[in-house]
Amino acid sequence: MLVLVAPGQGAQTPGFLTEWLDLPGAGERVAAWSDAIGLDLVHYGTKADADAIRDTAVAQPLLVAAGLLSASALGDVAPGAVAGHSVGEITAAAFAGVLDDTAALSLVRKRGLAMADAAAITETGMAALLGGDPRATVAHLEKLGLTPANINGAGQIVAAGTKEQLAALEADKPEGVRRVVMLQVAGAFHTHHMGPAVDTLAKAAEALTPGDPKVTYVSNKDGKAVGTGAEVLDRLVGQVANPVRWDLCMETFKELGVTALLEVCPGGTLTGLAKRALPGVRTLALKTPADLDAARELIAEHAA
């Protein structure tokens, strides 16, 4: 059973779309998406530097576009389930047929702008904690006023809060945590700091008509499979201010009988987690078009 997954913010790197745009029709397709959402995805995916694509309003549409483009290059795929980490949930919603590509990109463009505006209100950020006992780590974060914004499994939790709270975390790590790594993101995503973005996104969602998922859609709110498009959309709205439970998604993959996990471009983060949390499961990350042949072989062996 194949699970198709999409990464979240932070996975992007300068120029990562360049080789993908050499595929037949890819440049025209991304240019059309750029016109539809008022953002030059071609420029940001090929020529922009790391600081430019770190901007939340840019990074999020760029990641969804990359996921959709790389998945389409695979041809017909019949995964047993789909899921996405943070903004990757919008990509996954398109995979499942809940949103078409243009609707997904329109929604993520509004999401990115709204979250960038919310992040500008207070100076906030995020940090990854590696190692330690999850329960003890969460308790320690809460003591410092931080939110466990991403509980990713495989020994990784991402904390979010103000710059002062994160500085206190660096000076006082939870017991057993090996490293605290400050992330290159613009704000405390998936926390109460993103509350203003929820209202904006809810209004944007009212204009959409979602379809029901055509494959099993696993939500990172709680790792549950969601059966209706309306509920998927409702969860996408609320997700921006609530923690990501990727650990629970991986538990659901196990229960579903996953045998292979394929991560769309810019892959690597979620396959890395799966290698540690899902032993015995084949994993493959789409980084460049050179990975497509191996991905097609994986699909032939493990997809329905």
Token digits of residue 43 = 């420029």
Euclidean distance between CA atoms 228 and 77, whole angstroms: 21
At 230, the amino acid letter reads A
Other Cβ atoms within 10 Å of 112 Cβ, number = 26
Q: Residue 190 catalytic?
A: yes
Catalytic residue among 85, 190, 193, 302: 190
Euclidean distance between CA atoms 143 and 175, whole angstroms: 13
Euclidean distance between CA atoms 143 and 156, whole angstroms: 19
Q: Residue 219 catalytic?
A: no
- C-beta separation of 114 from 245 below 8 A: no
Catalytic residue among 34, 86, 106, 219: 86
- Listed as own residue / partner, the contacts of 44-52 with beta carbons closer than 8 Å and 24 or more positions apart are 45/15, 45/16, 45/17, 45/18, 45/20, 45/21, 46/15, 46/17, 46/18, 46/21, 47/15, 48/14, 49/14, 50/13, 50/14, 50/184
In the sheet that 2-6 helps form, which strands lie side by side, from edge to edge? Answer: 225-226, 216-218, 81-84, 2-6, 260-263, 282-285
Euclidean distance between CA atoms 64 and 220, whole angstroms: 16
Q: Is the dihedral of CA 34, 57, 66, 223 positive or negative?
A: negative
Residue partners of 267: CB distance under 8 A and separation at least 6 = 7, 11, 284, 285, 286, 287, 291
* Residue 14 preceded by cis peptide, ω within 30: no
Q: Which residues form the catalytic set?
A: 86, 190
